[in-house]
Amino acid sequence: MNVEAGAMPPTTTSPGIKDATNPEPAGPPASPTPAHRAQPRAIRAFDGRKVMLGEDLNLNRDLKEVLTGMIKAGGGTMTNNIQQANIYVCNYRKGDDYVKASQNNKDVGNLSWLYFMITHDKWTNPMRRMMHYPRPPPPGIGNFQDYKISISSYTGEARVYLENLIKALGAEFTRTFKQDNTHLITAHRNSEKCEAAEEWGVNIVNHLWLEDSYAECKEKSLTSERYTYFPPRMNMGEILGATEINRDAVRKMFFAKSKKKEAEALSNTTAGGSRSHTDGEAHTPLAAKASRRTKTADDVATPARSRLDGKENETPGTTGSRGAKDRALSNLHNVMEDVNQYQKEAKRKGGVVHGGRRRKEDEIVDKETRKGGRDSIASKRSIEEVEADDASTEDETEQTAQKSKKARKGPMTQIKHRMLVSGDKRWQGDGDKESKDKARLRELGLYILDEPKRVDFLCAPKVVRTLKFVAALADGPQLVGSEYLDYAIKHNKLPDAKKYPLDYSEFRKQHDIDLSDAITRAKQNKHRLLKDFTIFCTQKAKFDVYKDIVAANGGKCLKWDNRTTAVTASKRKIDSQPKEVSQNLEEDEGDVLYLISEPHKDELKLWTKFRELAEKHDMVPRIVSNEWLLGVAMAQKIHWKPEWELKEEDIKGAAKK
């Protein structure tokens, strides 16, 4: 066997993601101008070309002027007419301008691509790098919107790149790795996160699954060895960004047209009209698994072209500086059989002690020994989560539960219910009991959540108005009392939830809200109750708390600190919502702009500017206490009570008393 075990080499930044990690870079591009030059430096990539900036870039005036100056200094011009433009820059793969530009083979890229050319002073094809081409519009690609993905063993630019790639696909990225994650993207399998993922049944894949899915505009199957293969003594982070976007796949998904029109456009396209790739041109770093174990040098895949030298649309000559790595990558699958054998050997007691095939008698001895042996450490793990460390390493495990006395036999029980607990004091000050109880409940199929996301059961001793409780109501969960947990922990089995309903009779009398009706409305709303709402909140009014409640209901909450610059607001169109949602918006006046504040004299100075903002956008300012948001979120419908409004005279009168 020609595979050797050894220490994992450190991650180095892949040239494929240099200056190509963030599709929406903040601030102007890096362009240091010498003091003796009055004009911005010329960018040769724009020579003789007309550039159009898409509206979805949302550039402020100053940044737009900077970019315009650089483009003009480089011999380019700006235009607002897509027919005249050679280059179109936008954020998303949608809109008439994007479709027209793409169908006419114009160069289409995003702001990161534009910055790259400005920084490096040379042309690059936007489809060469994932984060240089506009992203798919929400909800993303395939079923990624249903996935919760974390990453392991990546740092620096590589981590930023993967985080943005996950979000661009439509999935949720989590810095903390927990049991409810669906996938773990890792550079190698030698980490605590991988051990936890194996125990929890979380998919462990390399980054090629993300890149290929993004490049081909469809979710790739995890059954392919390409996505579960980790070459020994190689860090997969070294080949980040080597995959290119498949233009043909993008065309079919986002700007397809009839074959007749396509043929006409192709015949009318001049040789110098575009620098884009030919349809379907895309390179990936790993060749398909070889049918034969041995190959000559001529059989290996052609290496990727040099990315920075010369114009990328020119035909490449000899192999560039990446040749050695490309040749190595093309042979990775040739050693798959040996790797599989190595992994099998590594799992047995004593690890890899010699090469070659395993002797039959060795397997028999191992089986006999295993009968009386102890369980593996991995089988005893009952940690709640694995967190990404902010220090140099990303894979330290935070064990929030004690290891079980008895190892679990067989795979972990599938999650039946996801419960959020609020207001229950049973575990307060007793972390050891909390860990043991949660581990036992998890084995029964009940997963206790830390955050109000995808909640099935909401458990509390009574109705409480905490962030967790109020935000979780937007999921339309079943409400149960603390007695449900009492029974489950005592009898070691999950009871019928209907036998332990949450008693909210006192809450209904006090606030005139029937929570059973609210849950019905929440299921209708599906987190869209505050969609198109922009709600402002002062810091003193607990902005950090209420922004999460607003977000859970589909709205946007902004902190109000008397700064009106770059703040926008617009009237809401109630009829734009589906019928099941709009019926819960009947009392929404559409043109009211809300500010959540506190009845305190120090807050008065913030109100004047807020009213000016509302009037500027032809809206009605309404300053309210937090009772308004709590009332709306807990009832799951827009309604109004006069006592929620804050007025100067009430505060000044209270101050005099």
Using one digit for the tens of pLDDT, what is the confidence trace for 363-384? 433 444 444 443 433 333 433 4
Q: Is the pLDDT of residue 572 over 80?
A: no
Beta-strand pair 385-387/176-178: antiparallel
Cα torsion 379, 384, 388, 390 to 10°: value is -120
Element (H, E) at 580: helix 579-582
210 vs 259: which has the higher pLDDT: 210
Sheet holding 50-53, edge to edge: 77-78, 50-53, 87-89, 107-109
CATH number (3.40.50.10190, 3.30.420.40, 3.30.470.20, 3.30.300.210) of 417-503 reads 3.40.50.10190
Mean pLDDT of 56-76: 89
Which pLDDT score is estimated for 23? 76
- The sign of the CA dihedral 93, 94, 98, 100 is positive
The verdict on domain 144-245 having CATH code 3.40.50.10190 is: yes
Q: How far apart are CA 212 and CA 293, in angstroms?
A: 25
Q: For residue 177, which phi and psi values (nearest 5 degrees)?
A: -95, 120
- 596: confidence class by pLDDT, cuts 50, 70, 90: very high
Whether 183 and 202 have beta carbons less than 8 Å apart is answered as yes
Which pLDDT score is estimated for 30? 60
Min mean pLDDT across 173-177, 476-480, 542-546, 561-565 is at 561-565
Taking the CA of residue 147 as centre, how many other CA atoms within 13 Å lie in the half-sphere pointing to its CB?
Answer: 24
Chain-wide mean pLDDT for the chain? 77
Q: Which residues contact 499 (CB under 8 A, 6 or more apart)?
A: none
- 395: tokens are 């894979």
Same fold for the pair 417-503 and 527-656: yes
Which pLDDT score is estimated for 42? 56
DSSP helix/strand/coil, 595: strand
Mean pLDDT of 502-513: 95
What are the sequence ranges of the domains in the chain? 15-132, 144-245, 417-503, 527-656
Element (H, E) at 64: helix 61-73
Beta-strand pair 446-448/417-421: parallel
Min mean pLDDT across 146-150, 315-319, 338-342, 420-424 is at 315-319
Q: Which class for 545: exposed (0-12), middle (13-18), buried (19 or more C-beta within 10 A)?
A: middle
Mean pLDDT of 615-621: 90
Which pLDDT score is estimated for 235? 79
Min mean pLDDT across 70-79, 103-112, 501-510 is at 70-79
DSSP helix/strand/coil, 624: strand
Q: For residue 280, which phi and psi values (nearest 5 degrees)?
A: 85, -5
Q: For residue 465, which phi and psi values (nearest 5 degrees)?
A: -105, 55
Whether 293 and 334 have beta carbons less than 8 Å apart is answered as yes
Which pLDDT score is estimated for 9? 47
- 61: tokens are 């005036």
Mean pLDDT of 164-184: 94
564 vs 124: which has the higher pLDDT: 124
306 vs 558: which has the higher pLDDT: 558
Residue type at 146 in one-letter notation: D
Mean pLDDT of 329-346: 45
> Percentage of the chain with pLDDT > 90?
47
Q: Is the pLDDT of residue 339 over 70?
A: no
The string of pLDDT tens digits covering residues 444-474 is: 999 999 889 899 999 999 999 999 999 999 9
**Cα 272–chain centre separation:** 38
Kindly provide the b/e burial profile for residues 128-144, where b requires at least 16 CB atoms within 10 angstroms of the residue's own CB.
Answer: bbbbbbbbbeeebbbeb
- 536: confidence class by pLDDT, cuts 50, 70, 90: very high
The verdict on domain 527-656 having CATH code 3.40.50.10190 is: yes
As its CATH architecture, domain 15-132 has 3-Layer(aba) Sandwich (3.40)
| Long-range contacts of the stretch 499-502 (C-beta < 8 A, 24+) | 502/458, 502/459, 502/460, 502/462, 502/463
Which pLDDT score is estimated for 521? 95
- 113: confidence class by pLDDT, cuts 50, 70, 90: very high
